[in-house]
Structures are given as structure tokens and as C-alpha cells.
Structure 1
């Protein structure tokens, strides 16, 4: 079986190389990072090719790329055309777009400068991500944060009941469920719906996945974002909320790292009830645990270790937020 997989993989690479030559690429070498992502070195430069299962999905990504191409310094990696002038290459039942390979490193959220540069990159991306054309906005969907989180919360409750790991982790699950229940009960649905409606009227577009691997540091002071997959028309503050949730576990939930971001808008957000309440919702734990339950034993083991390390720090942070909100009420 392994030999067959190797032969099939080799055949696919050889055929892919031949198809690229037909698109005018003078290929020196190429390798697949994923089944649908390939790095191609040519005499004209290095490119990333990404494959999509549907042509319309590929074309949507290319059109969104056109929006950022209007800027002198796009904050998103932008697609280009093949030497033959074509935007899309069809191969192996997939539609392949092409963009320059952006050399650089992903952010390290253990590093204070990287954390600060990350939020500044998001702000610059947001400044370019107010779509004024319906032809672009129509490509993207929106969502209700409360409805999205309720689905994730309910999925975690179901999954945690099906998987009995240990008495200690069962207790941790109950605490995590209590945080989610409290947060959902405290969030003002009408306030968030109003924010979401205003975002649609303004044309605010969020990246939707501000994880370290979707940032690219091209130089000391140049950080951009990549990956259009989860773009949506929702308040820009939702990207900031997700970014804070990504950062905090790296810093044992110490609020001081947020002050070091040197972002006045974040300081203002940290005084708003909805934002503080949303930080109590353990969306990252639900997301990763739901994936672990589906993946099986090894992933569950990794998440157990992470949760045991994270929980006491997160608990202290959450209690502080709940006390602040209780005093405001």
C-alpha cells in the first residue's frame, strides 16, 4: 500500500510539473506543503499555488485579492496571473490560483514585539478592509457571534458527555461549560446585532483567522496577513477579540501584555462590557477540544496537557473580569 501511495504521489508531482510548464512557468523545483498547496521555484521567482475544489471559490478569492491590489502596500498576500495571462490553472480536479511566495516568518506570540506588531498589522489590514463595492461584499457572508458561539458551546457539551477522560478533566469541563453559559447569558444580543448590522452597512471585513501562521513578517517593520478563507462581513472588533484570545494563553492570561500592545483602541475595548464578557467565553478551548474529540486519543492527550497548564491562569483572569462586570452592573 505504501509503495502504491508513493508511486501515485510521484506520478501526481510529475504530471503537475508538466501542467505548470504548459502555463508558461519555467520550473526549477516544486514541493507540496499540503495536498492543495504547492511551492514552486521558477527562473522568474518563487510562487505559491493554492488549489480549490470549485472554480467559483477560486474566482472569489482572486477577486478579493484584486481589492487589496489597489493599495501601494497591500496588507494581504495578493494573487497574480500565470505567464500565459490566465488567472486559474485546472489540474487534478482542482482550480489553482497563483501568488508570489512571501518570504518571512510567522509571528511568535511568546515575543512581546511580535504580539504588538500583530495587532498593528490587523489595524492596518482593517484600514484597507472597508469594502465600498457591493460586487465585493456579495462574495462574503456574515454571521451572528452569539449564534456561532452557541453552536460551538452546545457541540462541546455534547462531546464532553460522550468522552469520559478523568474525574479531574470532567470537573474542568464543567467549569468551562459554566464560563460559556455565563458569558452567553450576559452578552447583550441586541447590542451585538446592532454592531453586526452596522458592520454590514459600512462594509467592514474581518480576516477571521488571526492565528500566528496567518501573519508573515517580511522585515523588521513589515508584517502582513495571508489566507482569505474565513473573510466575513462582521465588526472589525471581532478580529481583535479573536487575537486577544490567541495571545493570552501564551502569557498565562496576564493582562499586562495587552497594555504592551500600545493600541489605544484596544485599551478602550477593554473597558466595554460586551468585550470583557466575550473574553470569558472559552471559545478557543471549545474549538480545540471539539477537534480533539473528533481526532482521537493523541489529540485528546495534547489538549488535556494544555488545559491542565492553562486553567488556573485563565480562572484567575475570568474571576477578575466577572468582578469588574459585577461592580458595573
Structure 2
């Protein structure tokens, strides 16, 4: 029996709800499981997110971050309950104020408005955190993008060995070539990912970490992967997330987004756009998953791998030529 089944059997969620009611003093009546390590609790008037944290230090760092954000004028995120850490069954939980999502306008990168609003909010987050990054230097690691990508490429190549005799492998060879080219170029410009000025990086600008509120404002959530580094690390990830919605058009990427435009003649930034981080990340996750989860993720994997393959390869070819020709 897995851990989740055991917790259901021994009434874990109900016991957690009763304990939170006791320590917080609110009349919470219901608890709903949202996903692994996350629950929604509610009373007649309030809703809070209960989130499990790997360690007390992680929770306190995030509480401190949101405090500094609000103190420095960044209002578009959640706050934590003043109770701080909640210890239950040997585990650490935090209470996060629930943000009500606009039901008829969910956030997604297929929307031009969403993309522009998200980039503006992310840039605001970077500018705000740059004011107090030094306060977090003892608590957060300096993000090493090149080391992460180098390790991910090696892992991907190793796992792809079992697919050499399949029709998938010729496609993967092109993705591996792009990754190898990008890594080789970036290793010659290793300081690019370490040069200041620094800010706090969000680390996961996936669409589900933005929430459109009922009043139309956009909120940034989930700071589990925060680190310290130059803002262009987050911006590269953002570009990788939105390029499929732009049909892998470099022209649209640099003409439509003022915050990205200044990187159009920046060779390391361009080379980093060639690195197929989403392909490597999602395939590694897939190959490490169990059979049932593989089945559930297969369609998404096929979509990102093949749907825009020709357009993506043309984007890679164009960007590589620009970098090789000295812009």
C-alpha cells in the first residue's frame, strides 16, 4: 500500500484539518486534496492553501521572500498566514492565502495578452528582488545554468540509447545536436550565466505559476525553485515556454516583447535559445516514470516533439547561423 493510500486509511486529511483548526483558531470545515503535498481548506468566509515543505528552512525562506516583496511594492503574489510553520506528523506545513482565479479567463501562453502580462510581471519581480538580493545570499544558491544543462544533456543522451533502433531516434539526434552545439558555445562564454547584476530568480515560469484573478490582475505564485542569478536565466526559460505559441518565430519573439528585444544581438542568449531544454526535461521525466504515468504523458510528449518539429528546426538553423556569422 502506498503512502497516499495509508494516509487516507488513517484519516490523515481529517486529522490535519482538526490540527490546523486547533493551532490557527479558525473554524475551518472542509479540506480538499489538490495535488501531492497541497490541500485547500475553507471555512464559511476564508480559503487557505495548506502546503507541505521539505524543510522548515525552505518555508521560512519563502515567508521572508513574500514579506520583502510586499514591503518593496510587489503586491501580485500570495502571503503566508502569520502562524508560520505548522508541524504535524513529523512534517512541515505552511498556510498560504488562496487566490481566487478568474474562471472565464484562465492564464495560458496561447494568449498574447497573457504572455505580455506575464513577462511584465516577471520583469517587475526581478526589479523588485534586485533591491534585496543581498539579504538572501546566505540562504539561496547561485544558480548554475550551464552545469544543469550539461548534466541534463548527458542524461538525455544516455537514456536515448535504448531508442537507437526506433523511428524516434533520427528526430532525437537533431535535438541532441542542437543541445551539444549550444553547450559547446556557452562553455566558451561560461561567465554569461554568472555575471551580475543579480536578482532572485523564480525558476519555474510555467503557465500554472501565474493566476489571473477575478479583477483581471495577474499574480505570480510558487517559489519552490528560487535561486540567485542574472534575470536573463528566467527570461530564457520564459522564451522557451512561449516560442511554441509564436510558431517558433524569432522575429515575433524579438519584435513583440520589449523585455526580450534587447537580447536579439546577444550571442550567448541566442545560443541558449537553441538548447532544447523542454525536450530533454520532459523525455527524461517520461523515461523515469512508471507505466501508467507514461501513458498519461505520451500525448504531451508527442506534441512538443513532433507538432512543430519543422518550424523549430528552422528556428534553430536561423539562430545558429546568426551566431556563427557574428550577427
Q: TM-score, normalised by structure 2?
A: 0.88
Partner residue, 2:48 = 47
Corresponding position of 1:284: 278
* CA deviation profile, 1:173-226 (whole Å, cap 9, x unmatched): 11111101111112254x442551424xxx411101001000111256521210
Other-structure match for 1:87:
84
Does structure 2 retain, via aligned residues, the 8 Å contact 1:131–1:205?
no
**1-side partners of 2:148 and 2:7: how far apart?**
43
Q: Which runs of 5+ in 2 are unaligned?
A: none
Map of 1:160 onto structure 2 = 160
Question: Runs of 5+ in structure 1 lacking a partner?
Answer: none
- Between stretches 175-184 and 67-76, larger displacement belongs to 67-76
Distance 2:164 2:29 in 1: 52
Q: Does 1:179 align with 2:173?
A: no
Other structure's SS at 1:198 match: coil
Question: Partner of 1:31: helix, strand, or coil?
Answer: strand
Distance 2:288 2:58 in 1: 27
Matches within 5 A, 1:289-304: 289-295=283-289, 296=291, 297-298=294-295, 299-300=297-298, 302-304=300-302
| 1:285–1:165 Cα change, 3 Å | farther
What is the rounded CA distance, in whole Å, between the counterparts of 1:303 and 1:145 in structure 2?
23
What corresponds to 1:75 in structure 2?
76
Cα distance between partner residues in 2 of 1:231 and 1:186: 26
Q: Aligned residue pairs: how many?
A: 318
Aligned with residue 240 of structure 2, among 242, 245, 264 = 245
**CA–CA distance in structure 1, aligned partners of residues 80 and 255 of structure 2:** 34
Distance 1:125 1:253 in 2: 26
**Whole-angstrom distance in 2 between the partners of 1:192 and 1:274:** 9
Which residue does 1:36 correspond to in 2? Answer: 37
Map residues 203-282 of structure 1 onto 2, 5 A cutoff: 203-219=198-214, 221-259=216-254, 261-263=256-258, 265-282=259-276
SS in 2 for 1:22: helix
Say if 2:255 and 2:261, in contact at 8 Å, map to a contact too: no
1:220–1:14 CA distance, 2 compared to 1 (3 A)? closer
Q: Partners in 2 of 1:133 and 1:326 — Cα distance? A: 35
RMSD of the alignment, in Å? Answer: 2.4
Classify the secondary structure of the residue corresponding to 1:328: coil
SS in 1 for 2:308: helix
